[in-house]
Amino acid sequence: MTSTTALVNGRVLLDEGFRDDVAVLLSAGRVQAVVEAGDARVRDAARVDLAGGSLLPGFIDAQVNGGGGVLLNNTPTVEGIRAIAAAHRRHGTTGLLPTLISDRADTMREAIGAVRDAIARGVPGVLGIHLEGPYLAAERKGTHDASVFRVPDAGELELVTSLSGGVTLVTLAPEQVPPDAIRALVARGAIVAAGHTAASHAQVRAGLEAGVRGFTHLYNAMSPLTAREPGVVGAALEDRDSWCGLIVDGVHVHPASLRVALAAKPRGKLFLVTDAMPMVGADRPSFELYGETITAVDGVVRNAAGALAGSALDMASAVRNCVRLLDLPLAEAARMASRYPAEFLGLAATRGRIAAGMDADLVLLDDALEVRATWIGGDMERYAA
């Protein structure tokens, strides 16, 4: 007989908003039901007291380069991925895409294989892979190594889409990749986003028509919106159907620009990402990328030339920043970290909401919006204050 756990005495974020008069029943890794607090099934279950905290759907991060002292490019192994996922779980992320920064084909093959094996072995939280490049524009390369940039041929399109059992997200510059290649990626099951791109508005529109579904870290590493050339930013804000990832750390994008995006895009089309580097969940403030030392100073990650190089952001901090910098209600900030990325990644049938039948991936925040517990597939980890 399968046991049931009842999560009680919390503020539970449901589709209609927060409720403090319900309990959440978990069984066999899923949400069995959301019931009134006095329901008989609650009395018969093993109860977990949430102590008045806010129970949210677990956070989903589509862009995680590293964590726990590990960078995927440097350690494309199951154990490296396990360390990254564990570091981010502590900050409320119950599902993520380990992200490979532009690299050679053999490293891409290793990373895809490691993610495949991690999923097969049940490493908690691994949903697939994000290949950020190498099909990018040198003019907007950021810290990526432009020497590995290229246009994918048929063999590489097959490699890129070779992951089975998980999501594949590919970030590319639509002006660098022919529309037929974008169509081929989409036809083979990949989700395609535009990023690190100097495209014109017309080139982005062509990419969207070919199957580009979203934009990687909106505003950063893309041609800006100007009076006579809307650029990538203008195309992203104008398009009603595409999604945009946002790095809300107070550094990558000014709060006013974030508010412009919130006003321009339909609700549900903006979601949070961290673009996190290895210092999340680690004591060491630096790491190596392409043989260069990258360092975090006062929480800002830069390369030797002073350019931004990912972030030291975690998802719980991104949610707090939405509340404190952007004055968003906690419920909407939480949706930007859970429901909306689940919809972007095609996972909304099982993740991103607290409702019967959904995966039991949850996060508990206290009054200070600090993470006090997470559940992945119903398995709970508690964290001390």
Interval 219-232 mean pLDDT: 98
Q: Look at residue 159 and tell me whether its pLDDT is greater than 80.
A: yes
pLDDT tens per residue across span 188-210: 999 999 999 999 999 999 999 99
What pLDDT was estimated at residue 299? Answer: 86
Is the torsion defined by CA of 318, 205, 242, 94 positive or negative?
negative
List, for residues 5-21, the tens digit of each pLDDT value.
999 999 999 999 999 99
Which pLDDT belongs to residue 56? 98
Q: Please give the structure tokens belonging to residue 373.
A: 């517990």
pLDDT digits (tens, 9 = 90+) for 18-73: 999 999 999 999 999 999 999 999 999 999 999 999 999 999 999 999 999 999 99
Checking if the pLDDT of 2 tops 80, the result is: no
* Tally of residues, the chain: 385
Decide if 210 contacts 183 (C-beta within 8 A). Answer: yes
Percent of the chain with pLDDT over 70: 99
Q: What CA–CA distance (Å, rounded) separates 92 from 372? A: 9
CA 201 distance to own-chain centroid: 26
Which residues carry out catalysis?
275
- Domain spanning 59-344: CATH superfamily: Metal-dependent hydrolases (3.20.20.140)
Render pLDDT for 246-265 as a digit per residue (tens, 0 to 9): 999 999 999 999 999 999 99
User: Which tens digits make up the pLDDT trace of 106-137?
Assistant: 999 999 999 999 999 999 999 999 999 999 99
C-alpha 341/C-alpha 372 separation (Å) is: 22
Fold observed for domain 5-56+352-382: Urease, subunit C; domain 1 (2.30.40)
**Amino acid at residue number 239:** D
At residue 307, the pLDDT reads 86
Residue 282: per-residue pLDDT: 95
pLDDT score of 1 more than 90: no
Neighbours of 185 (CB within 10 A): 24
Tell the burial category of 257 from Cβ atoms under 10 Å away from its Cβ (0-12, 13-18, 19+).
Answer: middle
pTM reported for the whole predicted model:
0.97
User: How do the domains of the chain map onto residue ranges?
Assistant: 5-56+352-382, 59-344
